[in-house]
Structure 1
């Protein structure tokens, strides 16, 4: 099972319809401490943990924390020009998910 970590519910709602395999999408809901991150991710230890957060300072802060606490997690990035996962065009998100080895729906997606 794969686990995708995003920052907010809008990020989750943006990527969930694109995914064609069972995955768990976890929201950090803003700033997270090492303890909170551990509580969130510990149940998924040993699974593929994929980090997909915004290209901003809070996203970078979260990435640093994850790299320290869960070094085995894989990090995938959206281009800084889009700033947020929630505002990234669907075709770009689809490409990022494919790169993360996540099966995506084959429907033609606009946007």
Structure 2
């Protein structure tokens, strides 16, 4: 991947903290703080133009709205989805979050992958 930086877009600060706990690689995590205005969105897209972008938002109406906005402005971004049962990134169990991040190609702390009762 050359010199590309990886950037993960999340909705809120608590999501950022939760993701940081399970990740095992340096990654720039950007918070949108919920929905985002068109100007902010364009500025964000310009800033992230040459980066490897991942999008992880809540599995609820506001998260889906944000995902659609980001899809338009950042068509190359990789989308990461949590199970709808958890609804919010911060409410997802660490082992679930670790597995979806791992499937997206991100390095996670292996301690979170050793949960005995993994439910898929």
Normalising by structure 2, what TM-score?
0.86
Aligned to 2:118: none
Q: 5+ unaligned residues in a row in structure 1: which ranges?
A: none
Whichever structure has more helix as a proportion of its residues is 1
Cα deviation digits, residues 17-44 of structure 1 (max 9, x gap):
2111111000000121221122234222
- The 3-state SS of whatever aligns with 2:90 is helix
Aligned residues: 111
Residue 52 of structure 1, aligned match among 52, 56, 77? 56
The superposition leaves residues 35-66 of structure 1 with CA deviations (integer Å, 9 ceiling, x where unpaired) of: 11222342221211100000001000011111
Change (3 A) 1:97 1:108: closer
Query: Pairwise mapping of residues 20-35 of structure 1 onto structure 2 (< 5 A)?
Result: 20-35=24-39
* 1:57-68 alignment, distance < 5 Å: 57-68=61-72
- Separation of aligned partners in 1, 2:39 and 2:103: 29
Structure exhibiting the larger radius of gyration computed from Cα positions: 2
Change (3 A) 1:68 1:108: closer
Give the aligned partner of residue 89 of structure 1.
Answer: 93
4+ aligned runs moved over 3 Å, structure 1? none
Quote the RMSD (CA, aligned, Å). 1.6
- The runs of 5 or more residues in structure 2 that have no matched partner are 116-120
Residue 108 of structure 1, CA deviation: 4.4
